[in-house]
Amino acid sequence: MYCPKCGRQIPDDANICPYCGVRVEHRTFERGSARWLVVYGVLWLLTVIAYSVPWAKVDGKVFVGWNFTMPFSITYVIGMLLGLIVIIVKYRPVLMTIVAGVLMMLGLVGAAIGFGAAQIAGGLTGVKVSWEAGPGWAFILTMLYMVAGAYAARKIPKSRRNP
């Protein structure tokens, strides 16, 4: 298990952290940290789902975030991978969550630029281009992930002590 104060790994049967001296309550800490990890995982999963719903229609063809915003999808994917690292490795969870959220937001900005370019090209060629609900959901869920995810990440024990 991990110390709730310093984040170092301590023996499972320890009542006091040998590194910082804080008293450790076994059941409360373990249940609480697992609960926050689940909350974090759900927030992360919602950002994945938001990128998978319709983002735009171009001449009747539906595009989701993955195939509409290239190359900006790469920043969103990197952000999601950082979030996955937090879930699996639990390394620097707050910092990684904020960086992941910023990268995801850059992907959304890229989507807005791509949509603007598609609107211009569609206007010039007579192709109908329409914005769907996906980017709005992705924006809302990414903001929720950055704020609530960073809060939840504070409650997740770290795998290493932050310097």
| pLDDT tens per residue across span 40-63 | 999 999 988 988 889 889 888 998
Determine the angle formed by the axes of helices 134-155 and 93-125, rounding to 10 degrees. Answer: 170
Give residue 123's pLDDT. 92
pTM, two decimals, is 0.71
Would you say residue 71 has pLDDT above 80?
no
Question: Alpha helix (H) ranges present in the chain?
Answer: 26-50, 65-68, 73-88, 93-125, 134-155
- Given pLDDT bands bounded at 50, 70 and 90, which one contains residue 139? very high
